[in-house]
Structure formats: C-alpha cells, structure tokens
Chains A and B, each alone.
Chain A
C-alpha cells in the first residue's frame, strides 16, 4: 500500500467518492468529491488529538468490537497515515485543536470537487461480509458469543481490540471450544444461493492458527463440503487435520445457549454417526460469504456497468473477457465482480491493468462501424424535446444513448455496441443502425419472398448465437429442408414487429425469430426486449388470423446446431400440414389489415413495391 502511495505515477485519493462519470472509452471525465478530513498534511501522527477527544464511537475497522474517537486514524498501518475527523459524531468542542501542537486541525476545510480526464477505469470496489442476523436459528445478534468471521479475525489480530488474545465477547474468558459453521447464509436459497469460495480456506486458516496458538482449545469446523481447490489448498486442509482441527460433516440446525453452562449448544445431525447430536462450544463463528460492497449498485448506475443476479458487477463474458465490464474502457477486478480470494483478486488486478494499458497506449481506438445513428430529421421529431421520452436510454445497457431534458436524444458512438435494441421501441422511428438499416432488412425480406413465398420459412437470426447455430448445423451435416431463408441481425433486439408483418404481407409461409438464450445475450438485455416484443406480436398475429404455427420464436445457442435443424424440420412439416391453400387463404384475409399496419412504410423509398408475379 505504501509503495502504491509513493509511486510518482500513482495519485492515491482517499476519502474521495466518484460522483459522476461522463464520456466514453479513452475520454472519460470523472468528477470526484474529496471530502474534508479537517486535518491538514502537516500532521505528524503524534496522536495528542485523539487523547483529547471526548467522543467514543464503535470502531468499524475492529468490527465494532472496540471504540474509537471522533478524530482518529483508521488503523495503525493506514495509508496515507492520516488522521480524520468523523463529522457525523464530532461535537466541535475543539479540544483537539487545543491539543495539537502543530496546529494542523482545520475545521474550515470543505469538500473539493476534482475533475479528471482518464482513458480507462477499473472498478475494484470489493465486497462486504454477509450479515447473518436473518438466520434466527443461529442467534447472531441474540447470543453474544455467536460471532462472524471478520470479528474473529480482529480478536486474533495482535493489533486488534484484545491485542491478539482470543476471548469471548461476553465475559472475556478464553474459550474452551470454538466451532466454525460453514455456509451460514451461503448455498442457501433463502439468502445467497452462491458459494463464495474463500470461506472454507479462511476458516481452516484461522482454525489452524487457533490450534497453533492455543493447543488446549478444541476447534471444530462444521461443513457441508470443504472447498479447497487451488494450489496448496488441499495440502493446507490436510495440515489442519494433522494439527487436530476437527471436521464434522454437519450443517447445524440451531444454536441455543446452554442451560447451566457458560457456552452454546449446537444441534445437528452427525452424518458420520447418522444420528442427531448436541455439541458444546464456548464460541461459535459463522463463516458467511461475500455480498457486494455497499454502493456497488449505485456506482454501477453511474458508470452504466450492469450487475449480475447477485448484485456483483457483470463481466462482459465470464470466460473470455473476465475483467472487462460490458462498457468499453471500464474494467473490473477483484471481489467486486464476484467473491474470490487473494491470489485470484491480485491476478485480476494485473489483468485489468493490462487491459487498461491496451487503451492508453494508443492514439486512436478502432471501434466497430455497426453503431446506431440518428436519422437526419430525428432532432425535429424526437419526442424528448417537448415531452420527456428517454425510451432509447432505457433500452441501452451500455449508456450509449443520452436524452437530456428538452434536447433530442443522441448516440455516443464510442459506447454503442451495435445491438440495435433501441431502434424498435423509438416511438418516432428516429434511430437506425449502420449496415443494419431498416431499408436493408426490408430489401432482404423482399428478395427472399419475391418468388413462391408461401413455401418459405423466413428466419431472423442473431449474429452471436443463432446464426452460428445454423452454421453449426451445416458444418455437422445435420439435414434440414431447404425451405428456410436466413436474415442476420446483430441481436434479436434489433427486430421490429414490422419486419415480421411485412414478411407475412409478402406472403411468407412461416417466420422464425431466433436469438440467444436469456443468460447468453451478448448485449445483456437485447434478448429480454426481443422476447417481450415477440410475445406481444404473436398474440397480434393470431388475432389477425395468421395460424399460431406460422410464427415461431426459439432461443438457440451457437452449439445447438441440432436444435436449429430440428426447428426448421418441424416448421417445414407444419408448413406442409397447414398446406398452401390455407396459407394463401390466410394471407389473402390478412392482407388489407397488414397493408394498413404498414402504411407508414410507404414513406421509405422501397415502397410501394413493384409487383412481381405470385406476390400480392
């Protein structure tokens, strides 16, 4: 930490908060609020002010196990070695001012706003430990001697509240038995369904430490499974067993205070014995997992970094780009994107730094050309000018769309990933996408359906999953009938309902819309909007009189060539079952309504269509 603070090219800003981030990769403008410490840099850390301060509050660093004063240093090895005044609790008695010989205390300090221009950002906001109070069966918060892992770490730390002596919070006596309960609130559908991965090793480490320091204390670890998967971990686990840490395969059902004994009683089923048992322990440690640090969601909102279902930052791709956030130029490292231990976090830190330098080394960044753009007359038409709209802003998970009050919306190309999800929901139709313009797609629809459309299955496929899925079918020589014609879009979110309506207006036999599975969507939320739109559309089509089998929506991954082939086979069979006669009849019946729905397309130069034999 000291090295980082001293490095000439590192500016360590503590007690500061990122308030706003504008701009895009390579050119971020970050507004930071540096909060006042009320102590100047002239401070030599003598500590006289602390002795003079009359206020005592619980010390967060010591997990509330010891007090600190309103003027304090976070912990002895803090970097920078600064004192700070906690203005929430300070009563402005000025005793510290009187005590300070160097006159470094300055209550006139104010928050400073600092603006920084940066090329890339790394989010390494870390984690917090899950608070096990909701698990009433374990009594955390009710029984004093049920503590959690960080509290135990503080008790054992030589610079901690008890100078490293392990004592029970209730009576300060050294415990005779210490029991660790693993998976408290983890792997638990009621609280956190995930496994945090580090808690087994953390408990084993602490248990071993206790055994080595206090050989007379019995140490038990109650577990469901022990996760010791990385280098040296299994060997360490063995060492713990060699040193007499007792491992009991049991998740205790409840903890209660012992009647007539100073300790606690754990009730559980001893799996090895196959029957319920009671265990006594003077001190119980709940080994809880990691949850996202407070403010993770808020910070994610400021930088437009999406969260996963557990509230951790979402990686661009969990395997292939594990330190990239979905937003270009913003990277992730450490537990902020998922619970992990020290070696893994350090590795991610190095990786994120490398990813940053990739950007900083260049003069120019090459981006994909398939970005969204506003149509030329959009500024006049944009609803956001007179009313508040902002639908496109909501659709974009990358923050590429901006709609300031009273102004037309605009695209920041450097942030646009090219999914096209913003396009279908714009009420004014004011957005388009380079190389995936509506005209281009209509042209493809018309070309395919020019001849004998009633025999054809028009398939819309997304670039990342279903199109390679179809390819997969091809390369594996999986047979399917030749009735399908594919139109590629970057994401199923690009697909307007008008494309499908137009396809049916042109007489298509069947239409397939396919994309990624929900959790695989390359653009995070594109599939979600696509599914929503297509569900609504299928109801509309049925009401209009198009048989339900003629419109199908399937989510097909790149590896599911088999599924693609099967779907086309099924649709082809259904097409034959319905029969040309009925299809033509339905098309004829719905034609006028479809014409009405698509009347606005006559604005586009593609319409009215030149009729070719066989089409309406």
Chain B
C-alpha cells in the first residue's frame, strides 16, 4: 500500500483532489455508477481525501471506469475526475493489481504493437474491397526496446495478476425497469 500511495504522490493526486467538496455531480452522471452502485467516482475521491488507500483497489472496481469523461465535464471544482481514475488504475497496475483482460490487451500491444491484428480473411476482404495493402507496422525490435524502457513487460509479468478476474461481473443492483420513485 505504501508503494501505491507513493505512486499517487508522484502524480500529485492527493493535492489535485483537495478542492473536492463532495457534491456528487460526478456520481450522479456516471453511466457505470448508474447501474452498479458499487462503483462511485465520488467515493473514490473521498477515499483519497480520507487516506483510505486500501479501499481504492479493493475488488478492482476502478477498472470499471469507462473514461467517458462525463464527470470531468461536470465537476464544479474542475477536478479532472476521469483522469484521476486513470491514475488510480496506473498506480494499481504498478503494484500488480490488474485484471486479466487488461493484462491480455497489454500483452497483445507488447507483442504486435496493436490490440488486434487482421487475419487472412480480413486481408482478403480488404483486397476485394480495393483497399491498399496494410503497410508494415512498428518493428518488433523497436517495440521491444520501447516496452523495456517503460517497464511494461515487468509490470505485466507480476504473479499477483494470475487469477485476477477483475471486478465481480454480476450487476449489483437489479433491473431499473421499475420507475425510481423518491420514497419517504
């Protein structure tokens, strides 16, 4: 946890969220938070403010953030909430707390330079459609060089990542089909 805290300090996160007055506009507009009550951007900022660092990466909830930037647009204190969330992910990744699906993406980029590469069928279709040949991408040695400089292979190799399924898949609160009426 100390390491995680240190990574946050490197990016000056505690200072950047200081002006938050917990109005909840971010949580109110969050598309993920709307259907998953266990994901609450305001709460993440609150955890940083209260120094409840452990709670932040508990259950990998931060990886649910879709980076839609609605919170960033609406925050009256102009806190870049989605960017803070991104830094929380970065810090979690640095200490090895990464869900498997993210590791997969990282490994694919490290290997080929792309999140996905066209297979034979797609290449054939491209030719049929009269599209130009896809040029050579980044050379693997170059890619390797860059990735090593940035410490990515190390990061993705951590044993903590094994069996990390990511946040609990089930939708926490049942369907919102019924109209939400304000009670009491």
Q: Which residues of A contact B (CB under 8 A)?
A: 137, 183, 187-190, 220, 224-225, 249-254, 267-269, 271, 274-280
Question: Are B25 and A190 closer than 8 Å at their CB atoms?
Answer: no
Question: Are B29 and A275 closer than 8 Å at their CB atoms?
Answer: no
Q: A251-B24, A271-B22 are in contact. Are A276 and B30 (CB under 8 A)?
A: yes
Closest to A251 in B: B23
Question: Are A190 and B78 closer than 8 Å at their CB atoms?
Answer: yes
Select which of B24, B43, B70 is within 8 A of A268 by beta carbon: B24
Q: Which of A251, A253, A271, A276 gathers the greatest number of chain B CB atoms within 10 Å? A: A276
User: Chain B's nearest CB lies how many Å from the CB of A180?
Assistant: 14
Q: For the complex, is B169 an interface residue (Cβ under 8 Å from A)?
A: no
A275–B181 Cα distance when bound, in Å, is 14
Select which of B33, B77, B179 is within 8 A of A276 by beta carbon: B33
> From residue 11 to 37 of chain B, which have CB atoms closer than 8 A to chain A?
21-30, 33-34, 37
Known: A189-B77, A274-B43, A275-B173; 16 extra A-B contacts, CB below 8 A, are A187-B76, A224-B22, A250-B23, A250-B28, A252-B28, A253-B25, A254-B28, A267-B34, A268-B24, A269-B24, A271-B22, A275-B33, A276-B28, A276-B33, A278-B180, A280-B181
Which residues of chain A have C-beta atoms less than 8 A from B180's C-beta? 277-279
Question: Are A280 and B182 closer than 8 Å at their CB atoms?
Answer: yes
Closest to B70 in A: A253
A137–B76 Cα distance when bound, in Å, is 12
Question: Are A276 and B76 closer than 8 Å at their CB atoms?
Answer: no
Closest to B76 in A: A188
Binary interface profile of B, 74-97, with partner A (CB < 8 Å = 1, else 0)? 101110000000000000000000
Closest to A135 in B: B74
A279–B40 Cα distance when bound, in Å, is 18
User: Chain B's nearest CB lies how many Å from the CB of A272?
Assistant: 11
A269–B70 Cα distance when bound, in Å, is 14
Question: Are B76 and A183 closer than 8 Å at their CB atoms?
Answer: yes
A253–B24 Cα distance when bound, in Å, is 8
Closest to A225 in B: B21
Select which of A190, A220, A268, A274 is within 8 A of B40 by beta carbon: A274
Q: A137-B74, A271-B22 are in contact. Are A277 and B37 (CB under 8 A)?
A: no
Closest to A246 in B: B182
Question: Are A269 and B182 closer than 8 Å at their CB atoms?
Answer: no
Q: A276-B34, A278-B180, A280-B182 are in contact. Are A267 and B76 (CB under 8 A)?
A: no
Which residues of chain A have C-beta atoms less than 8 A from B33's C-beta? 269, 275-276
A274–B28 Cα distance when bound, in Å, is 10
Question: Are B28 and A269 closer than 8 Å at their CB atoms?
Answer: yes
User: Chain A's nearest CB lies how many Å from the CB of B184?
Assistant: 9
User: Chain A's nearest CB lies how many Å from the CB of B31?
Assistant: 10
Which residues of chain A have C-beta atoms less than 8 A from B179's C-beta? 278, 280
User: Chain B's nearest CB lies how many Å from the CB of A553?
Assistant: 27
A277–B33 Cα distance when bound, in Å, is 10
A277–B43 Cα distance when bound, in Å, is 15
Select which of A189, A250, A269, A274 is within 8 A of B76 by beta carbon: A189
- Would you list 28 pairs from A and B whose C-beta atoms are within 8 A, ordered by A residue? A183-B23, A183-B76, A188-B76, A189-B76, A189-B78, A250-B23, A251-B23, A251-B25, A251-B28, A252-B25, A253-B26, A253-B29, A253-B74, A267-B28, A267-B34, A268-B24, A268-B27, A268-B28, A274-B37, A275-B33, A275-B40, A276-B27, A276-B33, A276-B34, A277-B180, A279-B180, A280-B179, A280-B181
Of the four ranges (under 10, 10 to 19, 20 to 34, 35 or more), the interface on chain B belongs to 20 to 34
User: Chain A's nearest CB lies how many Å from the CB of B57?
Assistant: 19
User: Chain B's nearest CB lies how many Å from the CB of A199?
Assistant: 14
A224–B43 Cα distance when bound, in Å, is 16
User: Chain A's nearest CB lies how many Å from the CB of B18?
Assistant: 13
Select which of A188, A189, A224, A275 is within 8 A of B37 by beta carbon: A275
User: Chain B's nearest CB lies how many Å from the CB of A473?
Assistant: 31
A225–B173 Cα distance when bound, in Å, is 29
User: Chain A's nearest CB lies how many Å from the CB of B24?
Assistant: 4
A475–B34 Cα distance when bound, in Å, is 61
Question: Are A224 and B30 closer than 8 Å at their CB atoms?
Answer: no
A428–B126 Cα distance when bound, in Å, is 76
Closest to A185 in B: B76
Q: A268-B28, A269-B42, A276-B37 are in contact. Are A224 and B23 (CB under 8 A)?
A: yes
Question: Are A269 and B27 closer than 8 Å at their CB atoms?
Answer: yes
A305–B78 Cα distance when bound, in Å, is 31
Question: Are A254 and B24 closer than 8 Å at their CB atoms?
Answer: no
Question: Are A250 and B24 closer than 8 Å at their CB atoms?
Answer: yes
User: Chain B's nearest CB lies how many Å from the CB of A249?
Assistant: 8
Question: Are B76 and A277 closer than 8 Å at their CB atoms?
Answer: no
User: Chain B's nearest CB lies how many Å from the CB of A133?
Assistant: 16
Closest to A220 in B: B182
Which residues of chain A have C-beta atoms less than 8 A from B30's C-beta? 276
Q: Which of A190, A253, A269 gathers the greatest number of chain B CB atoms within 10 Å? A: A269
Question: Are A271 and B28 closer than 8 Å at their CB atoms?
Answer: no
Which residues of chain B have C-beta atoms less than 8 A from A268's C-beta? 24-25, 27-28
Closest to A266 in B: B28
A279–B78 Cα distance when bound, in Å, is 25
Closest to A279 in B: B182
Closest to B181 in A: A280
A29–B55 Cα distance when bound, in Å, is 69
User: Chain A's nearest CB lies how many Å from the CB of B146?
Assistant: 37
Q: A187-B76, A190-B78 are in contact. Are A277 and B42 (CB under 8 A)?
A: no
Which residues of chain A have C-beta atoms less than 8 A from B173's C-beta? 275
User: Chain B's nearest CB lies how many Å from the CB of A311?
Assistant: 19
Closest to A184 in B: B76
Which residues of chain B have C-beta atoms less than 8 A from A277's C-beta? 180, 182
User: Chain A's nearest CB lies how many Å from the CB of B70?
Assistant: 8
Which residues of chain B have C-beta atoms less than 8 A from A278's C-beta? 179-180
Which residues of chain A have C-beta atoms less than 8 A from B76's C-beta? 183, 187-190, 251
Which residues of chain B have C-beta atoms less than 8 A from A137's C-beta? 29, 74
Closest to B173 in A: A275
A280–B70 Cα distance when bound, in Å, is 22
Which residues of chain B have C-beta atoms less than 8 A from A190's C-beta? 76, 78
User: Chain A's nearest CB lies how many Å from the CB of B123?
Assistant: 45
Closest 8 CB pairs of A and B: A253-B28, A253-B29, A269-B27, A268-B28, A188-B76, A269-B24, A251-B23, A275-B37
Which residues of chain A have C-beta atoms less than 8 A from B37's C-beta? 274-276
User: Chain A's nearest CB lies how many Å from the CB of B107?
Assistant: 35
A418–B78 Cα distance when bound, in Å, is 41
User: Chain B's nearest CB lies how many Å from the CB of A243?
Assistant: 16
Which residues of chain B have C-beta atoms less than 8 A from A249's C-beta? 24
Binary interface profile of B, 28-71, with partner A (CB < 8 Å = 1, else 0)? 11100110010010110000000000000000000000000010
Closest to A267 in B: B28
Closest to A254 in B: B29
A275–B176 Cα distance when bound, in Å, is 13
Which residues of chain B have C-beta atoms less than 8 A from A187's C-beta? 21, 76
Which residues of chain B have C-beta atoms less than 8 A from A189's C-beta? 76-78
A220–B181 Cα distance when bound, in Å, is 13
A249–B22 Cα distance when bound, in Å, is 10
Question: Are B21 and A224 closer than 8 Å at their CB atoms?
Answer: yes
